[in-house]
């Protein structure tokens, strides 16, 4: 099996015990922490913002993979840098001047990623791919945890892998939404480098063990 990174999504964690959840992730074989920022406009849900990220940063030993599901995200790039984002992902659908957005994220010293919604074609990445540290493919419509993986995402992953090779680009492919212990192997085999999983980890009795199970074929 190909190597991959695991980025548990805190969206499904127990927010009343956030510090304990972060310590659990520190002690786990997870690679990053995935933070879903929603504004109730770009997506039909609201989560948390910079003050919470700042607290998470204080405790986390792992990189913060921050997924912005907000309109006009450029307004807040400096804030997200200041509160500790390491990787900042912006939606193709939310950035009118995407090249400028990606350039600014990098200027601020963060790694820049572009996100595509399930309906947005891979071809739209052709002229930005070489600038990106990572492309995040949504395999559900963003807004909520615990949704079902959209199977067409597998075709998109393969198409993106082809485009990356064609351009001799270095960027990673992250897949977010509906990733479970039952389907993650085929997602990795299709070409994913980073998997986000929320519900499949935090809705289990022992998230630490579940994280280990995700990584098991590699050991
Ligand atoms: C959805 C978010 C995801 C979400 C994934 O809008 O971007 O990161 O937390 O949750 P699961 O793994 O439960 O589908
Ligand atoms: Zn996400």
**What is the DSSP secondary-structure string of 105-169?**
HHHTT-EEEEEE-TTS-GGGGTTTGGG-SEEEEESS-TT-SSPPPPTTHHHHHHHHHHHHHHTT-
Cα 197 to averaged position of ligand 1 atoms, centre (Å): 7
Residue 31 annotated among the catalytic residues of the structure:
no
pLDDT band of 218, cuts 50, 70, 90? low
Closest ligand to residue 89's CA: 2
Three-class secondary structure of residue 50 per DSSP: helix
Q: How is residue 167 written in tokens?
A: 């351009």
In eight-state DSSP terms, residue 87 is: E
Could you identify the atom of ligand 1 that is nearest to the CA of residue 199? 13
Could you identify the atom of ligand 1 that is nearest to the CA of residue 203? 13
pLDDT value at position 8? 98
Residues whose CB falls within 8 Å of the CB of residue 123, separated by 6 or more in sequence, listed in order: none
Q: Which residues of 138-160 are buried (b: 16+ CB within 10 A; e: fewer)?
A: bbbebbbbeeebbeebbebbebb
pLDDT value at position 219? 59
Nearest-CA neighbor of 82 among 107, 47, 53, 48? Answer: 53
Cα 196 to averaged position of ligand 2 atoms, centre (Å): 7
Which of 176, 180, 194, 204 for mutating ligand 1's site (highest number of atoms within 8 Å of CB)? 176
Domain count, the chain: 1
Predicted TM-score (pTM) of the model is 0.98
Domain that holds residue 208: 5-215
In sequence order, the β-bridge partners of residue 38 are 69
Ligand 1 touching residue 177 (CB < 6 A): yes
Identify the active-site residue in 31, 39, 176, 193. 176
Nearest-CA neighbor of 127 among 110, 139, 114? Answer: 114
Looking at the chain, the whole-number percentage of residues with pLDDT higher than 70 is 99
Digit-coded pLDDT (tens) for 96-122: 999 999 999 999 999 999 999 999 999
- Asked whether residue 10 carries a pLDDT value surpassing 80, the answer given is yes
Residue 79 annotated among the catalytic residues of the structure:
no
Cα 67 to averaged position of ligand 2 atoms, centre (Å): 5
CA 55 – CA 19 distance, rounded (Å): 9
Residues whose CB falls within 8 Å of the CB of residue 114, separated by 6 or more in sequence, listed in order: 89, 90, 91, 92, 98, 102, 125, 128, 132, 135, 136
Domain containing residue 195: CATH number: 3.20.20.70
């Amino acid at each position: 099996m190909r190597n991959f990174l695991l980025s548990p999504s805190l969206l499904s964690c127990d927010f009343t015990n956030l510090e304990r959840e972060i310590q659990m992730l520190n002690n786990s074989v997870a690679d990053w922490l995935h933070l879903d920022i929603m504004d109730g406009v770009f997506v039909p849900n609201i989560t948390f913002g910079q003050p919470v990220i700042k607290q998470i940063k204080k405790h986390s030993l792992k990189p913060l993979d921050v997924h912005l599901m907000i309109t006009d995200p450029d307004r807040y790039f400096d804030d997200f840098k200041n509160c500790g984002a390491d990787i900042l992902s912006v939606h193709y659908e939310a950035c009118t001047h995407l090249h400028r957005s990606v350039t600014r994220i990098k200027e601020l010293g963060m790694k820049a990623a572009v996100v595509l919604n399930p309906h947005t074609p891979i071809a739209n990445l052709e002229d930005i791919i070489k600038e990106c540290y990572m492309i995040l493919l949504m395999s559900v419509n963003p807004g909520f945890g615990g949704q079902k993986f959209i199977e067409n995402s597998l075709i998109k992953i393969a198409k993106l892998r082809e485009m990356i090779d064609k351009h001799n680009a270095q960027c990673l492919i992250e897949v977010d939404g509906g990733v479970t212990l039952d389907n993650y192997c085929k997602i990795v085999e299709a070409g994913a480098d980073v998997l986000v999983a929320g519900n499949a980890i935090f809705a289990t009795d022992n998230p630490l063990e579940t994280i280990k199970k995700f990584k098991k074929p590699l050991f």
